[in-house]
Chains A and B, each alone.
Chain A
Amino acid sequence: MSESLANSQLGAFTYDPAPESTGVVRLQSSYGLFIDGTFTEPSSHDQFVTLNPATEEVLATVAQSSDADIDRAVTSARRAYDDVWSKTSGAERAKYLFRIARLIQERSRELAVLETLDNGKPIRESRDVDIPLAAAHFFYYAGWADKLDYAGFGLNPRPLGVAGQIIPWNFPLLMAAWKLAPALAAGNTCVLKPAESTSLSALALAEILQQAELPPGVVNIVTGDGQSGSALVEHPGVDKIAFTGSTEVGRLIQQRSASTPKHLTLELGGKGANIVFDDAPVDEMIEGIIDGIFFNQGHVCCAGSRLLVQESIADEVLRRLVRRIDQLRVGDPMDKNTDVGAINSASQLARIEELTAYGEREGATRYTSNCALPEKGYWFAPTVFADVAQSHRIAREEIFGPVLSVLTFRTPEEAVVKANNTKYGLACGVWSEKGSRTLWVAQRLRAGVIWANTYNRFDPTSPFGGMRESGFGREGGRHGLEAYLDV
């Protein structure tokens, strides 16, 4: 064998940049609040900037909602509920939701580009995952609006009223869809607060709501930071809080709404275990592990951030994983060939760096992709930690970044015990060709979602949500309606 053949270089055939055109997006220099069907100035005239995390360039300035603005939005939602939406038949509500779904599909290119600009996620993901799924969510719940009697909650289930909805920055438009679609189908009106660093696609959605001629006030979109979210949670006119975000904030919200009649659903953090048995379909399993942790830069609450691999194949799996992370294409999110985009914010990057530094200090072996990172923007190279112990911080805390911790097990029982050894309970993966064992494991995992021989799949018909400190309530499917009905 000649020396030149000793190493077959993966990715030797290099791809020229293939950037998606940003021409389809017309950014405004500043955005107001969407209240009562129109864009209005915030009462305090406070604004903050939203950045492109891949370049650190300012995209626009966005309004900071004050308590007065939140009050205006809630008042508008209440009026819309009393005067219009509660008197609109399910069949009519359905048609509005169908309209919104179609408008999202029509403007999908623009929304994908906007999402990637504001969030830093690869255009391939915003184009192929976020935006189509957002449309699908509206489509799915549209069909429920006039069939609530059949949803299993008794005849004529009533909506809750005004829903205050707070969403995270990792899937901005998709999370808006997850919140708005079931709420509106069930007959509620909404005040939605997008995450501070990713407001733009929600504001584009506001425009779509206008195009759909949704009655004013049925959906209000208020931008701002945690203060604005807090004001929404505390507002006495809100009947329902739906929150997606960190367990820390979720805990505070549950405490603050404890002495109120507000209904609450929480979709919080996770530390998902991806369990790999020695009979797993090996190539697909490697891709599944990669998908599980590097999809959306690991900014995924259900990320498979802990790999539990059967000891007998651990070396082989690690070797293949390390080879694979080096192959990931990290860089310009707008490039159609990019696999891993930018970290959403400087603060998130700092958090990832802090926890990975701990990982090294605690003695785990770190492998980091040799990829070149852009000069500007927030970046973190895909990283795998081997030799991780259950007690390490990187095995216990949610990193919310492209960082995988690898642990081993010997028996199915041990795998289950290790997977469940966390305060969270959101998602797990199981990889095996043996159906009976997969189901045995699935039955014992304390997780709201279990993916067998796949990972990070989402669908509007499939309930999503956690156990334990990953929160309560489900989004998606028939179960998702329960969060917005008085049942």
Chain B
Amino acid sequence: MSEDRLDVRKTYKLLINGAFPRSESGRSYKVETATGDFLANVAQGSRKDVRDAVAAARGVQQKWWGATAYNRGQVIYRLAEMAESRRVELRDHVMLAEGLDREAAQRLVSRTIDKMIWYAGWTDKIAQVLGGANPVAGPFFNFSLPVPSGVVGVVASQESSLEGFVEAVIAPIAAGNTVVALASERRPTPAVLLGEMTATSDFPSGVLNVITGVTSELAPVLCAHEDVDGVDISGVSSGEADQLNVVAAGSIKRVFRPRGADDDELRRLRTFVETSTVWHTIGQ
């Protein structure tokens, strides 16, 4: 700003299937900083954007899960590398969005990046920790494999614009799910940045889709979508969460609701992992 030059502003767009469209509806909405200054006009996603994002996530889910766990870990680690290289930008956006001071914002970004790495390391441990062999009383080789639920919808934290978002989307992705995430309505830009980083992190298109917009409009659409297998509804009040939970029950979805500070950190992984148990006969 101090430079004698008019800065080039950025357009904050959606991330759907690896592309960055404006909303198909053509709508946008004004986002302000924590102090009430104008920050940006952000794309206001629509029902159809949610639908397109779910289709993209479904389309790539087999491929993502079909990649080796080692490979998935590398891809997530690569995202952490990208975040690290853009940590100043992330910090600035967290400062603007959440009203934190520079040091606090920096610590938050660091913590978030470390969390990504933690999940990057989980991809090839999940099967060993959550699965295993079962000693059935008969001539059968019997093993339980954790497999992803499929497509997970995330209604991300409204307050924690980066850390909360990352935790909610990376956990299911690490487990082999693909994700359609609704970013924080009032603080969407850190999530949009993260989405942009996936474009340079070897993420197959559609593994993470980020929709910005009005939560009360989009969350019910996401939670009602029958091709969504599970939803994380961290980003709504408990009253709204109850409503979304009812909607999600329509197709027997797995639902994650936060439980507070002492929550088991594996619960996000476990919620969107299914146990598939295979029996095979043992004989000569």
Tell me the complex Cα distance, A407–B274, Å.
27
Give which listed residue, A154, A258, A439, A454, contacts B245 with CB less than 8 A. Answer: A258
Nearest 9 CB-CB pairings of A with B? A259-B242, A254-B249, A258-B245, A459-B136, A452-B280, A255-B249, A258-B246, A461-B134, A462-B134
Q: Is B72 an interface residue (CB 8 A)?
A: no
A438 to B245 Cα, complex, angstroms: 37
Q: Is the CB of B149 within 8 A of A467?
A: yes
Q: Is B136 a contact partner of A461 (Cβ separation < 8 A)?
A: yes
B134, A469: Cβ atoms closer than 8 Å = no
Tell me if A300 counts as interface (CB < 8 A to partner B): no
Q: How far is the CA of A423 from the CA of B227 in the complex (A)?
A: 10
In the bound complex, residues from chain A placing their C-beta under 8 Å from that of B132 are: 478
Q: A450-B276, A452-B279 are in contact. Are A472 and B134 (CB under 8 A)?
A: no
Q: Does residue A422 face the partner (Cβ distance < 8 Å to B)?
A: no
**In the complex, what residues of B have CB within 8 A of residue A185's CB?**
none
Q: Does A358 contact B (CB under 8 A)?
A: no
**Chain B residue, CB-CB nearest to A449:** B277
Give A contacts to B, CB under 8 Å. 136, 152-154, 247, 250-251, 254-255, 258-259, 266, 268, 423, 425, 435, 438-439, 442, 444-454, 457, 459, 461-465, 467-472, 474, 477-479, 482, 487
Task: Kindly provide the distance from the CB of A292 to the nearest chain B CB, expressed in whole angstroms.
Answer: 13
Q: Does B28 contact A (CB under 8 A)?
A: no
8 inter-chain pairs at a CB distance below 8 angstroms, sorted by A residue, are A152-B129, A251-B250, A268-B252, A450-B279, A463-B134, A463-B144, A474-B275, A487-B264
**B135 interface hit (Cβ, 8 Å):** yes
Chain A neighbourhood of B78, CB < 8 A: none
Residues 227-284 of B at the A interface (beta carbon under 8 Å): 229, 242-243, 245-246, 248-252, 254, 264, 267, 270, 274-281
Task: Please state if A451 and B252 are interface contacts (CB–CB under 8 Å).
Answer: no
A459 CB contacts on chain B under 8 angstroms: 134, 136-138, 142
Inter-subunit contact B252/A266 (CB<8 Å):
yes
B279 touches A448 (CB 8 A): no
B interface, CB within 8 angstroms of A:
62, 129-130, 132, 134-138, 140, 142, 144, 149-150, 229, 242-243, 245-246, 248-252, 254, 264, 267, 270, 274-281
> How many residue pairs bridge A and B at CB < 8 Å?
113
Let me know if A462 and B242 touch, CB within 8 A.
no
Task: Evaluate contact between A448 and B274: CB separation under 8 angstroms.
Answer: yes
Across the interface, do A448 and B252 meet the contact criterion of CB distance under 8 Å?
A: no
In the bound assembly, the distance between CA atoms of A258 and B280 in angstroms comes to 38
Known: A251-B249, A251-B250, A447-B276. A477 touches B134 (CB 8 A): yes
Q: Is there an interface contact between B136 and A468, defined as CB atoms closer than 8 Å?
A: no
Partner among A251, A266, A445, A465 whose Cβ is within 8 Å of the Cβ of B275 = A465
Minimum Cβ distance to chain A for residue B223 (Å): 11
Question: For residue A472, which residue of chain B has the nearest CB?
Answer: B254
Also in contact, A259 and B245, with CB within 8 A (given A459-B142, A461-B134):
yes
Known contacts A452-B279, A453-B281, A454-B281; A462 and B252 CB within 8 A of each other: no
B64 to chain A, nearest CB (A): 14
CA distance A247 to B251 in the complex (A): 9
Q: Which residues of B contact A255 (CB under 8 A)?
A: 246, 249-250
With A247-B252, A478-B132, A479-B144 as contacts: A448 and B278 at CB distance below 8 Å: no
Q: Enumerate chain B residues within 8 angstroms of A464, measured Cβ to Cβ.
A: 277
**Once the chains bind, are A457 and B275 in contact (CB under 8 Å)?**
no
Pairwise interchain contact A448-B242, C-beta atoms closer than 8 A? no
Which of A152, A254, A450 makes the CB contact (< 8 A) with B252?
A254
Q: Are A469 and B251 in contact (CB under 8 A)?
A: yes
Q: Assess the B138–A472 pair: CB atoms within 8 A.
A: no
Which chain A residues lie closer than 8 Å to B135 at the CB level? 461
**In the complex, what's the smallest C-beta–C-beta distance from B86 to chain A, in angstroms?**
35
Determine the distance from Cα of A37 to Cα of B135 in the docked complex, in whole angstroms: 35
Distance (whole angstroms) from the CB of B268 to the closest CB of chain A: 12
Complexed CA–CA distance, A411 and B267 (Å): 38
A439 to B279, CA, bound (A): 11
A154–B140 CA distance with the chains assembled, in angstroms: 30
A-B contact sample (6 more), CB < 8 A, given A459-B134, A462-B134: A251-B249, A255-B246, A452-B279, A459-B137, A463-B277, A477-B277
A136 to B138, CA, bound (A): 13
Q: Which residues of B contact A154 (CB under 8 A)?
A: 264
When chains A and B are docked, how far (Å) is the Cα of A461 from the Cα of B142? 9
Could you tell me the distance between the alpha carbons of A386 and B131 in the complex, rounded to whole angstroms?
Answer: 38
Residues of A within 8 A of B140 (CB): 454, 457
B176 vs chain A, min Cβ distance (A): 11
Report whether B246 and A482 are in contact in the complex, using a CB–CB cutoff of 8 Å: no
Q: In the complex, which of the residues B245, B254, B277, B280 has the most CB atoms of chain A within 10 Å of its own CB atom?
A: B277
Q: How far is the CB of B222 from chain A (nearest CB, A)?
A: 16
Q: How far is the CA of A429 from the CA of B136 in the complex (A)?
A: 18
Among the listed B130, B246, B254, B275, which residue makes an inter-chain contact with A259, where contact means beta carbons less than 8 Å apart? B246
Known A454-B140, A461-B134: A479·B275 in contact at CB below 8 Å: yes
Task: Judge whether A453 and B280 touch: CB under 8 Å.
Answer: yes
A353 to chain B minimum Cβ distance, whole angstroms, is 28
Neighbour of A457 across the interface among B130, B138, B144, B229, CB < 8 A: B138
Q: B264 to A462, Cβ gap below 8 A? A: no
- With A258-B242, A487-B267 as contacts: A451 and B134 at CB distance below 8 Å: no
Q: Tell me whether B136 and A462 are in contact (CB under 8 A).
A: yes
In angstroms, Cα B248 to Cα A266, docked, is: 14
Q: How far is the CA of A285 from the CA of B252 in the complex (A)?
A: 33
* Residue in B closest to A260 when the chains form the complex, CB atoms: B242
| Min distance, Cβ B53 to any Cβ of chain A, angstroms | 20
A249 to chain B, nearest CB (A): 11
- Taking A459-B136, A463-B134, A477-B134 as contacts, is the C-beta distance between A251 and B279 under 8 angstroms? no
Q: How far is the CA of A462 from the CA of B144 in the complex (A)?
A: 8
The residues of B that contact A487 with a CB separation of less than 8 Å are 264, 267
Bound: A450/B150 CA distance, A: 18
- What B residues does A266 contact at CB under 8 A? 252
Q: Are A467 and B137 in contact (CB under 8 A)?
A: no
Residues on A with C-beta less than 8 A from B245 are 254, 258-259
A452 x B281 contact (CB < 8 A) = yes
Q: Which residues of A contact B251 (CB under 8 A)?
A: 423, 468-469
Least distance between B134 CB and chain A CB atoms (Å):
4
A477 to B143, CA, bound (A): 11
Q: Are B264 and A136 interface neighbours, CB within 8 A?
A: no
CA distance A447 to B275 in the complex (A): 9
Once the chains are docked, how many angstroms separate the CA of A446 from the CA of B145?
A: 12
